[in-house]
Amino acid sequence: MTQDEMKEKVIEAIQRVYDPEIPVNIWELGLIYDIKITEQNEVVVLMTLTAPNCPEAESIPAQVEYYIKHIEEVSDAKVILTFDPPWDKDRLSDVAKIELGLF
């Protein structure tokens, strides 16, 4: 499997995670800043949340790790949470904007 194919599988896994307060997956919300895949198929995801005091600050990153670790080719997964730069609605995808009625 190529790096691009692996990344697509990782993105599909991430798209299964939703912010419980917003009916859009975290990929479309723009919460994922970076995805790195090592030669050993370890996945490291740099992500943020919509707010530093988000009540789901522990569960959302844990869900991301859970779904990525269940990709057969992945040897391990780690999520790094950051608030730099802070998330803002400009990171929303067009899909999210339509879903939220912002388009």
Domain span including residue 82: 3-99
Number of domains present in the structure of the chain = 1
Specify the 3-state DSSP secondary structure of 80. strand
pLDDT at 6: 96
pLDDT at 23: 87
Confidence (pTM): 0.93
Q: Are 88 and 25 in contact (CB under 8 A)?
A: no
**Which amino acid does the sequence have at 103?**
F
Q: Are 28 and 95 in contact (CB under 8 A)?
A: yes
The model's pLDDT over 38-66, given as tens digits with 9 standing for 90+, comes to 999 999 999 999 988 888 888 999 999 99
Residue 73 has pLDDT above 90, yes or no: yes
Phi first, then psi: give them for residue 29, nearest 5 degrees. -70, -15
> What would the two tokens of residue 45 be?
């995801």
Q: Residue 47: give its domain's CATH number.
A: 3.30.300.130
The model's pLDDT over 4-42, given as tens digits with 9 standing for 90+, comes to 999 999 999 999 999 888 889 999 999 999 999 999 999
- What average pLDDT does the segment 87-92 reach? 94
DSSP code at position 45: E
